[in-house]
Structure 1
Amino acid sequence: MCSPTGESIPHEVPKRGDDGAPKESFPWHIGVYDAHCHPTDTMASISSIKNMQARLLTIMATRGQDQDLVASVAEQHGITDLNELRESGSSETPKKVVPAFGWHPWFSHQLYDDSKDDEQEEEVTDVRAHKKTKHYSTVLSPPPDADFIASLPDPIPLSKFLQETRQRLLAHPTALVGEIGLDKAFRLPWGKVNESSSSRNGDLTPGGREGRMLSPYHVKMAHQVDVLKAQLCLAGELGRPVSLHGVQAHGVLFDALASLWKGHEKEVVSRKKQKMIAKGVSEDFSSSSDEEEEFDEFDDLEFGLGEPKQQQQQQHKVKKSKKPYKPKPFPPRACLHSFSGPPQVLKQYLDPKIPAKCYFSFSMVVNLGTAGGEAKFADVIRACPDGQVLVESDLHVAGEDMDGYLEDVARRICEIKGWGLEEGMQRIRRNYEEFLFG
């Protein structure tokens, strides 16, 4: 989602080339992957996906109104495996979508944790209304009045949502869990949107803010954490990566993840100890993962880095097969989308003991949309490992504007990293493929 206030960001493309200097042609042919976007918020734009220069869009679900929309777009445009993604020239309209199913923290109040239901409820005339009032009075702060509660939808059992999400993930083998996370800044908007009003923008999917004023009510962090951790556990169960939202909650978000991988940390062996053991017996200290790597035909020739395959196979180890995935209480990979923290927070996620690999994606609308974001952007990009940086649009409408945002942020990253555009987009492409497929 594009803004911590809940308002959609206008999709005006930032101007490029204002200094008058000629721009190097952007290498769309390499394959540009949008790691996080929301075009199902504007379903009228979906037909433009086939004409976009971007090779792939990772489309996020956020709330009750868009879960089925994301699934329907994936059924029409979704990839099923890595080979299909790479075969971009095999048809006039290649598959271009990876879906993500999850419940955004802005809407976390609409889920109630039925695992905490009281065994004995007090006797009331209207049980449904009583449970609704009790739920919203518990998870919102300050406690809302009756009129505000009446404007909210009936909450959905968390167990029901998780069951439905599991089925969607199983139906879409490349799907992520997302957008999920924590947000301390967001406040709920006032009132309901009149969906039958002639003044309403009918192109927008219902359920968003749609210009409503913000109330003083926010979702308590404890409830957000419960909803987040339930979805992280589902991702760990099915071995799916996640796309994470974090606004003014960097410490709480890290702690929530750390609580799930506690007891599963990797053993970090010093180089000195590795050398001592190497003199006696051969032992692999590269990872404590249960996955076993082998190597096959994949090599960097696919990215135009051009060495004979025999040399590439000696220099680049690439996964061929793995042992069957063992469910874990945490996701195998996570992308912190539009990462807005300082370098020291980013570095928390790079601890070699962490058993989940973390990636960081960046967008124009969030990372470069304010003076504060602009000021720290270069330092954050320099702190991000070359193999863990991704690009995204975070835009609510597909088409030319989305391509423009992707190009702009990619150019900025390549400039800061000192990469040529060809080299940089090859790196970012590989990063995304590793994030998605492991």
Structure 2
Amino acid sequence: MCQEDKDTASPPPPKPAHGDESFPWHLGAYDAHCHPTDTMSSLSPSSIAALRTRVLAIMATRSQDQQLVADVAADHGINDADSESEPDSADTSCKVVPAFGWHPWFSYQLYDDTVPNPTYNYNPSNTDNHDASAEEDAKIAHYQAVLSPTPQDRSLLSSLPTPTPLSSLLSSTREYLSSFPLALVGEVGLDKGFRLPQQRPPGDDYSRDENLTPGGREGRLLSPFRVQMQHQQAILQAQLRLAGEMGRAVSVHGVQAHGVLYDTIAACWKGHEKKVLSRRDKKRIAPGAEEGSDDDDDDDEEASSDNDGSKAKKKKKKRNIGGKPFPPRICLHSYSGSADMLKQWFHPAVPSTIFASFSTGVNMGSAAAKEKLVAVVRAVPDDRILVESDMHAAGDEAEGLLADMYRFVCEVKGWGVEEGVERIGGNFRRFVYG
């Protein structure tokens, strides 16, 4: 969801540059970030059965689509990560990995009720003492506090939903994550460019596309009002902490905010950075001994008895380790920053495992963008690169765009397409499953 911050309706994404009849779908193509619940008709049982993509990572973004994502995952979700990765699995139908989160475009609809003076403070002592005027004033005060420049149009602010407490979002997201053990947190992030849509004119409901899930921009022009960055950061960090608590990977949105996005996420892992050994220190350590010494995701040693009664040690793999204030794995979705800025994300002291994914619609919208993307793709380590469609509907167009991005990445990396599909598939499984 990176294309709606323009004054006019977004143009359709470019048509696939190549046919995909020869694309090796049978090897397992993975869409690391998409939004087909924005167009529910594209997710009918017959539509999903026709998909060639092995797994869709479907993002929730706002109040209206959280349960939709959960419903699709209940019917088509992956229950066992190990069986999904088996090439000889009898079930080859498209599967879903759900992601639950609140997108920065909708962060203004939340208020932080964990701070001493929340921006929304209507709290009647009992339901019989409801004061509609006071409630409306509280709502308007909240939106004036989190939007910039400060809106003065009460009709616009009155048309916005009553703010949701951040604690409620975190509670419901925790329940979704508990219900789906492989679920991600996403889509979350920061966006300096986004502006709120204008209020729909009275009597203009007929122009709304009924095929789209409510709550989005829906073709409306944009207002001058942006969500204050400090507010976006608070909403993002709360969701990052939840992901850390539950040991889940996160899909992160960042537009015109690459530096502040890094700083905001890095603040969550402050004090937990990995120790980076100097060359002198490395020479003092036996070869291989330094590997994994500071990584909490390493294997445990578990004692077991051999036949002769002696104790032998065997490796036991930890999975989904939580309890940290930062996520174990982070994907920079449709990363649009520079190759040079990637260095900070892939610094050896960073305790989260960082991935970067790319989409045709966002990253190849122009010749200049495509040229820039070559350097960026080269800068991403081979085992950290992912591919996505970022499309609002599932189907042939999304799969064509996905195949095009696979081909582009393979060309830049110097991989054959089959080799690249297998490599990127392995990267996806490490990102999602750990």
Q: 1:194 touches 1:200 (CA, 8 Å); kept in 2?
A: no
- 1:25 partnered with 2:22: yes
Partner AA of 2:254 in structure 1: G
CA shift digits 1:337-375 (9 cap, x unpaired): 000000111111010001001000000000001344223
Q: Distance in 2 between matches of 1:430 and 1:294?
A: 23
Dislocated runs of 4+, deviation >6 Å: 119-125, 193-196
Q: 1:105 touches 1:224 (CA, 8 Å); kept in 2?
A: yes
Q: Distance in 1 between matches of 2:339 and 2:75?
A: 39
Output aligned runs, 1:322-337, within 5 Å.
322=318, 325-337=321-333
**SS of 1:130 mapped into structure 2:** helix
Q: Distance in 2 between matches of 1:44 and 1:345?
A: 39
Partner AA of 1:292 in structure 2: D
Q: 1:267 touches 1:353 (CA, 8 Å); kept in 2?
A: yes
Give the aligned partner of residue 311 of structure 2.
none
Output aligned runs, 1:257-296, within 5 Å.
257-278=265-286, 283-293=289-299
Q: CA deviation at 1:246?
A: 0.2
Provide closer, same or farther for how the CA distance between residues 428 and 130 of structure 1 changes in structure 2, counting only shifts above 3 A.
same
Output aligned runs, 1:107-256, within 5 Å.
107-118=106-117, 126-145=133-152, 146-192=154-200, 197-256=205-264
Structure 1 window deviating more from structure 2 (25-34 vs 366-375): it is: 366-375
Provide closer, same or farther for how the CA distance between residues 122 and 176 of structure 1 changes in structure 2, counting only shifts above 3 A.
closer
Q: Distance in 2 between matches of 1:369 and 1:138?
A: 35
- In the alignment, structure 2 segments of 5+ residues that lack a partner are 125-130, 302-314
Q: 1:11 touches 1:401 (CA, 8 Å); kept in 2?
A: no
Q: TM-score scaled to structure 1, two decimals?
A: 0.87
**SS of 1:265 mapped into structure 2:** coil
Give the aligned partner of residue 314 of structure 1.
none
Q: 1:9 touches 1:395 (CA, 8 Å); kept in 2?
A: no
Give the aligned partner of residue 301 of structure 1.
none
**SS of 1:126 mapped into structure 2:** helix
Partner AA of 2:74 in structure 1: E
CA shift digits 1:207-239 (9 cap, x unpaired): 111111110000000000000000000000000
Partner AA of 2:216 in structure 1: G
Q: Residue 418 of structure 2: which of 416, 422, 425 is its match? A: 422
**SS of 1:234 mapped into structure 2:** helix
Q: Distance in 2 between matches of 1:207 and 1:423?
A: 40
Q: 1:176 touches 1:242 (CA, 8 Å); kept in 2?
A: yes
Give the aligned partner of residue 3 of structure 1.
3
Q: CA deviation at 1:94?
A: 3.1
**SS of 1:206 mapped into structure 2:** coil
Structure 1 window deviating more from structure 2 (380-389 vs 121-130): it is: 121-130
- 1:43 partnered with 2:40: yes
Output aligned runs, 1:345-364, within 5 Å.
345-364=341-360
Partner AA of 2:406 in structure 1: A
Q: TM-score scaled to structure 2, two decimals?
A: 0.88
Structure 1 window deviating more from structure 2 (186-195 vs 253-262): it is: 186-195
Provide closer, same or farther for how the CA distance between residues 238 and 122 of structure 1 changes in structure 2, counting only shifts above 3 A.
closer
**SS of 2:217 mapped into structure 1:** coil
Q: CA deviation at 1:195?
A: 10
Q: 1:414 touches 1:420 (CA, 8 Å); kept in 2?
A: yes
**SS of 2:207 mapped into structure 1:** coil
Provide closer, same or farther for how the CA distance between residues 96 and 411 of structure 1 changes in structure 2, counting only shifts above 3 A.
same
Q: Distance in 1 between matches of 2:219 and 2:4?
A: 14
Q: CA deviation at 1:114?
A: 1.1
Give the aligned partner of residue 311 of structure 1.
none
Q: How many residues of Structure 1 are paired with residues of Structure 2 in the alignment?
A: 408
Q: CA deviation at 1:196?
A: 9.2
Q: Distance in 2 between matches of 1:216 and 1:350?
A: 36
Two-structure CA RMSD over aligned residues (Å): 2.5
Give the aligned partner of residue 377 of structure 1.
373
Partner AA of 2:412 in structure 1: I
Give the aligned partner of residue 316 of structure 1.
none
Q: CA deviation at 1:194?
A: 8.0
CA shift digits 1:39-69 (9 cap, x unpaired): 0000000021221111000000000100000
Structure 1 window deviating more from structure 2 (6-15 vs 323-332): it is: 6-15
Q: 2:51 touches 2:94 (CA, 8 Å); kept in 1?
A: no
Give the aligned partner of residue 14 of structure 1.
16
Q: Distance in 2 between matches of 1:194 and 1:67?
A: 28
Q: CA deviation at 1:126?
A: 2.9
